[in-house]
C-alpha cells in the first residue's frame, strides 16, 4: 500500500554544535530512502511517520555541518 502526504523534516531552529549529548547541533534528516518509519497515532489526532524500524542519517548544524547515522526518534509530521 502506498500513500502520499505533505511533510517536513526541516527544523524551525538552528543551533551550532559538535560532539554528543546537549552539545550536538540541531538535526535534519538527510535526503534519501529509509525503511525505518511506521505510522503511529500522535496525540490521538493524526498519524505521523515515526522512526522505530531502523537507523537513519541526519545532518547536524555546526561550524561545518556533520552527518550522523543511528536511531534518533525522528518524527515526520504533516506539513503545510
Give pLDDT tens digits along the chain (80 positions): 777 767 766 677 778 887 777 788 888 888 888 888 888 887 888 787 888 889 999 888 888 888 999 988 777 776 66
Domain spans of the chain, in order of start: 10-78
Check residue 10 and give its pLDDT: 67
List, as one string, the DSSP characters of 13-39. ------SSGGGSPPEEEPSS--S-EEE
pTM higher than the cut 0.85: no
CA distance 50 to 36: 8
Check residue 55 and give its pLDDT: 93
Check residue 27 and give its pLDDT: 83
Residues in the chain, overall count: 80
CA distance 23 to 14: 13
Check residue 31 and give its pLDDT: 87
Amino acid at each position: 500500500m502506498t500513500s502520499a502526504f505533505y511533510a517536513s523534516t526541516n527544523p524551525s531552529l538552528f543551533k551550532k554544535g559538535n560532539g554528543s549529548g546537549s552539545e550536538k547541533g540541531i538535526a535534519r534528516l538527510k535526503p534519501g530512502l529509509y525503511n525505518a518509519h511506521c505510522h503511529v497515532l500522535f496525540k490521538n489526532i493524526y498519524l505521523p511517520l515515526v522512526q522505530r524500524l531502523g537507523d537513519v542519517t541526519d545532518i547536524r548544524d555546526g561550524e561545518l555541518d556533520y552527518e550522523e547515522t543511528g536511531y534518533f526518534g525522528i518524527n515526520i509530521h504533516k506539513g503545510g
